[in-house]
Amino acid sequence: FPVTIFRGKSFEWTFIALHLGMLLTVASGLTRQQRGGDASFVGGFFWALMIVVLVLGVPIRGMMDLAEERRTRNVELMTAAGVSGVGLAFGKWMSLMTQGLLLVVSLLPYFGMRYFAGGVDLVADAKVLTLVRLISGVLTAGGLASGGLGGLARLAGGAGTIAFCTMLTSGWLVIVTGK
């Protein structure tokens, strides 16, 4: 199958894979808890799945989509129609952030299950989720910005964005944990 068949379905595949992973994680945790075992691993898998999708998947999709549009010259069609480069990038960023928000909203039942089954702190989870969304937004913007560049400049832009997010994460963790 050519890659173009799956290009338009990337959100759907991401959505399905994320929910299958969450279902397996929560089901195995609940089963283990009912048998008297330790289900603390559920929190780690829960956040790992969410971080992989939001912090890696969404920005990479943005970078790949913009690079593909540039390669197929769809960007030139949009700018010829009167859409500015900033408007195009902002629209793509908003689209990707809305898709990320849709993923997060679809995961709210899992937050509820974790709260009622495992007694997790929803306020702490909300703080971590805010951080994950913020990092996702910055990385997506960096991915879109570097997606419009060529070779070495794209790598430098991606590395700079990752460095910025690392500093942002460190500062946020100090605020959240107080350490």
Provide the token pair at 128: 């971590």
**Using one digit for the tens of pLDDT, what is the confidence trace for 70-101?**
777 776 666 677 777 677 778 888 988 998 99
**Using one digit for the tens of pLDDT, what is the confidence trace for 124-173?**
888 888 888 988 888 888 777 776 666 666 667 667 766 766 666 666 55
- Say if CB 75 and CB 88 are below 8 A apart: yes
Provide the token pair at 56: 């890696």
pTM of structure: 0.74
Closest C-alpha among 56, 54, 67, 130 to residue 97: 54
**Taking residues 112-131, what's their average pLDDT?**
80
